[in-house]
């Protein structure tokens, strides 16, 4: 069984507060909870199971259990009010872990606040370093130093992630046909079960068409108006559907970096999929894979280190572009450009670094072994290296 980097962090946090673990369906949240239950002892309740649902509504929780795990609790309309009461009554005697396949900070329909009572962790599907069973790089200075080499079998791990996606079942199954069948069912369940249960949407057929259309938008500036015209629905409808898919961890968006004195795109965003294997275009799929790992880094910085971090991209009016820029405490900290093949320094990355002070910059390639530094660009030069080496140094 693969060890998830989040497990020891959650285990430690449970000693002081409730812990929320949110992330996409079937990314490993229940497995993580079961591993913690094996270590700590306790009881597991899923709101999707009728018997468990009745127990939760009746408040008949086992006092002889240690850890209490509540899964998919956000589907209860007054879940925060209910959980606040449970925490206030039993929180000192029972560590509480809440898991869910939606943004637990977003679905607050009761109006009740749990401020100060929990730590939030966002769980991603399998990352490169988890698949390779590398220990987590928790120190941020170690991440940018890129001291850890790509592991043995790194090319095979990267190829599997590209072909099969990051979700444990299709990835560990190893079969592209089985992965395709899993992916087809996953999308249908997401739209017709998850969204139906949590949102008041009626036109699920067109929403499913939108979901199928989104892989073609990866790597380009997102145009809600173009999607509206394709689907023949209102602009606000498409925007609401995208926001709902974001809350359910089906998609995420990067906003533009618009530094002063640079003519940059400042309003349009870029859209990515949590399951990048749905993207057909090889370059867009590779970009999605690397940017997803950088989103994992952003979430690690926020959830584990308690620092504000953001995922951005850069595009000038003239067309210079950099795939990802990570901000720490509001300032550009890390820039990454993604290529399929090794080659010279990208002109968009050079353009940005000559105008914006960014301490760390990388250009990664999916194929090739080049690992070198281009000096005299930006603060410390640009390191051009295989993607596997960068990913091996991320959480």
The pLDDT of residue 101 is 84
Average pLDDT over residues 163-182: 96
pLDDT value for 204: 85
**Interatomic CA distance for residues 261 and 234, integer angstroms:** 36
3-state secondary structure of 306: coil
Q: What is the mean pLDDT of the chain?
A: 91
**pLDDT per position as a tens digit, 258-277:** 877 788 888 889 999 999 99
* pLDDT > 70? residue 107: no
Contact 218, 291 (CB under 8 A): no
Give me the pLDDT at residue 378, please.
Answer: 83
Helix, strand or coil, per DSSP, at residue 161: helix
How far is 173 from 21, CA to CA, in rounded Å? 25
Q: Indicate whether 229 pLDDT > 80.
A: yes
Residue-wise pLDDT for 51-83, tens only, equals: 999 988 888 888 888 899 999 888 888 888 888
Helix (H) or strand (E) holding 119: strand 118-122
Compute the average pLDDT of residues 163-177: 96
Residue 371, pLDDT score: 95
Q: Output the pTM of the full model.
A: 0.94
120-160 per-position pLDDT tens digit: 999 999 999 999 999 888 888 888 889 899 999 999 999 99
Tell whether the model's pLDDT for residue 384 goes beyond 80: yes
Helix (H) or strand (E) holding 224: helix 224-231
pLDDT at 110 over 50: no
- For the segment 10-47, what is each residue's pLDDT rounded down to a tens digit? 999 999 999 999 999 999 999 999 999 999 999 999 99
Q: What is the CA radius of gyration of the chain?
A: 21
Is domain 6-122 classified as CATH 3.40.50.10610?
no
262-285: b (≥16 Cβ within 10 Å) or e: bebbeeebbbbbbbbbbbeeeebb
When pLDDT is cut at 50, 70 and 90, the band that residue 113 belongs to is: low
pLDDT at 86: 86
Does residue 364 register a pLDDT over 90? yes
Half-sphere exposure of 117 (CA within 13 A, CB side): 21
Strand partners, 45: 70
End-to-end Cα separation, the chain, in angstroms: 18
The rounded distance, in Å, linking the Cα atoms of 180 and 60 is 41
In angstroms, the CA 310 to CA 301 distance is 10
SS3 102: coil
How far is Cα 164 from Cα 182, in angstroms, rounded to an integer? 10
Closest CA to 75 of 239, 167, 238, 193: 193
Residues of the chain with CATH 3.40.50.300: 6-122
Does position 1 have pLDDT exceeding 90, yes or no?
A: no
Q: Residue 185: what pLDDT?
A: 93
Residue 122: partners with Cβ closer than 8 Å, 6 or more residues away: 21, 22, 23, 299, 303
Q: Which of 99-113, 206-220, 240-254, 297-311 has the lowest mean pLDDT?
A: 99-113
Q: At 112, is the pLDDT very low, low, confident or very high (cuts 50, 70, 90)?
A: low
Q: What angle do CA 295, 125, 29 make, to 5 degrees?
A: 115
b or e along 40-52 (b: 16 or more beta carbons within 10 Å of the residue's beta carbon)?
Answer: eebbbbbbeeeeb
Question: With 60 as the cut, is the pLDDT of residue 111 above it?
Answer: no
């Amino acid at each position: 069984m693969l060890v998830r980097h989040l497990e020891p962090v959650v285990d430690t946090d449970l000693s002081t507060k409730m812990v929320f673990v949110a992330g996409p369906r079937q990314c490993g949240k229940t497995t993580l909870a079961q591993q913690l239950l094996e270590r700590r002892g306790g009881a597991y309740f899923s709101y999707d199971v009728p018997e468990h649902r009745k127990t939760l509504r009746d408040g008949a929780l086992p006092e002889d259990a240690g850890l209490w795990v509540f899964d998919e609790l956000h589907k209860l309309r007054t879940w925060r009010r209910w959980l606040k009461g449970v925490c206030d009554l039993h929180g000192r005697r029972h560590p509480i872990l809440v898991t869910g396949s939606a943004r637990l900070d977003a679905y607050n329909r009761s109006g009740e606040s749990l401020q100060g009572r929990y730590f939030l962790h966002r769980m991603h599907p399998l990352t490169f370093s988890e698949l390779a069973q590398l220990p987590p790089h928790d120190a941020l200075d170690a991440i940018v130093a890129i001291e850890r080499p790509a592991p043995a079998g790194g090319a095979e791990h990267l190829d599997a992630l590209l072909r099969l996606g990051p979700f444990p079942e299709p990835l560990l199954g190893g079969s592209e046909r089985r992965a395709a069948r899993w992916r087809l069912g996953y999308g249908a369940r997401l739209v017709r079960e998850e969204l139906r249960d949590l949102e008041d949407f009626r036109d699920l057929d067109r929403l499913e068409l939108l979901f199928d259309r989104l892989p073609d938008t990866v790597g380009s500036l997102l145009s809600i108006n173009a999607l509206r015209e394709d689907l023949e629905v209102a602009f606000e409808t498409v925007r609401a559907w995208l926001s709902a898919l974001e809350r359910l961890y089906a998609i995420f968006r990067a906003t533009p970096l618009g530094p002063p004195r640079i003519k940059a795109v400042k309003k349009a965003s870029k859209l990515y999929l949590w399951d990048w294997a749905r993207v057909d275009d090889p370059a867009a799929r590779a970009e999605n894979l690397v940017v997803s790992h950088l989103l994992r880094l952003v979430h690690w910085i926020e959830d584990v280190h308690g620092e504000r971090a953001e995922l951005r991209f850069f595009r000038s009016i003239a067309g210079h572009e950099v795939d990802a820029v990570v901000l720490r405490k509001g300032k550009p900290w890390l820039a990454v450009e993604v290529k399929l093949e090794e080659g010279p320094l990208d002109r968009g990355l050079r353009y940005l670094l000559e105008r914006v002070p960014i301490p760390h910059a990388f250009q990664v390639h999916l194929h090739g072994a080049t690992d070198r530094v281009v000096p005299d660009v930006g603060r410390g030069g640009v390191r051009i290296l295989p993607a596997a080496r960068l990913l091996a140094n991320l959480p």
